[in-house]
A = this chain, B = another copy of it.
Amino acid sequence: MRIEICDVGPRDGLQNDPKILEPEVRAELVNRLAGAGLPRIEAVSFVNPARVPQMAGAEQVVAAIDRTPAVLYAGLVLNEKGYDRLARTSLDDVHFAFAATETFNMRNSNATVEESMQTAGRIVTRAHEDGIRATVTIGASFGCPFEGKVDPGRILDLAARLVETGPDEIVFADTIGVAVPKQVKHLVAEGVKLGRPVAVHAHNTRNTGFANAYAAIEAGASVLDASVGGVGGCPFAPRASGNIATEDLVYMLHGEGIETGVDLDELISVAGWLEDVLERQLEGQVYRAGTFAPVAG
């Protein structure tokens, strides 16, 4: 069995970090992740640099990537303007994301959910015409910081409509890290019935992220998002941690006998490098505790 991991550290991880990294450094992170065998990397987002200065210079980041043929290089967009920028780069994959609740989506994308649904369809169509892969992420699939609980039936309705537009993947995102395994299992099990690969984007904000990833796999997810070192905070909870750490996920998956294509030792050294770059201890644990190597007796 194999699970595809998409490292979203260069995007979701760094976009919330207090330290702003230059495009060259962000490209180096992407290159190091590719060197560790990550099959997919969300390298940049095409958003307004005035709103998210951490993500400024997406085009420079892409230009500085040393392409590894086996890797899918992706960029996040929230609207067609973002897609216009992405389409002019050499990226392979567009990740369009929106939030399932009106308040969150209006704040994040200045659009109604219905407007974002229409945009999703247009971007998927345009991307495929342009020879670019396209996935759609339903943010706040398990809970919204403004509206609270989210009805899974509503998420599945959105997913069903999105599938009709032909995306390469549907991603259920626990944007604020509130999900528990039961919820993940339900959405994924129902989601895969729609006939498209299902991915889960888990945050470890409340320490449920790895159990959620495990439940996602049990229910049939084929792709998991994670970020090296577990970087990526949450603007709504200043002391909260970020995405599930890629190296910790790989430790668990390899232990389960699931292939990822990732070289865990290499990935741990990327986390160590990123710790130096960000000048703080990261949330990931395996890079600190080490893999399981008995000490000298």
Contacts and interface: CB of A to CB of B under 8 A. Distances in A.
A260 to B, nearest CB: 13
A255 B289 contact: no
A208 to B, nearest CB: 5
A252 B211 contact: yes
Interface in A172-227: 177-183, 204-208, 210-211, 213-215
Interface string A221-239: 0000000001000101101
A10 interface: no
B248 A208 contact: yes
Contacts of A251: 180, 206-208
Contact of A255 (B182, B230, B285, B288): B182
Interface stretch (A12-20, A49-57, A113-121, A144-152): A144-152
A288 B206 CA distance: 9
A103 interface: yes
Dominant secondary structure of chain A at its interface with chain B = loop
Nearest to A215: B214
B256 A182 contact: yes
B146 A297 contact: yes
Contacts of A143: 292
User: Counting chain B CB atoms within 10 Å of each CB, which of A148, A214, A295 scores highest?
Assistant: A214
A286 interface: yes
A56 to B, nearest CB: 27
A181 B214 contact: yes
A237 B289 contact: yes
Contacts of A240: 285, 288-289
A143 B252 CA distance: 14
A76 interface: no
B146 A207 contact: no
A245 interface: yes
A245 B205 CA distance: 13
A241 interface: yes
14 contacts: A143-B292, A148-B292, A180-B252, A182-B255, A183-B255, A204-B285, A206-B248, A207-B251, A207-B252, A211-B211, A234-B289, A237-B288, A239-B289, A240-B289
Given A206-B289, A207-B251, 16 more contacts: A146-B295, A148-B292, A180-B256, A181-B252, A182-B256, A183-B255, A207-B245, A207-B284, A207-B285, A208-B251, A211-B213, A214-B215, A239-B289, A240-B289, A241-B285, A241-B289
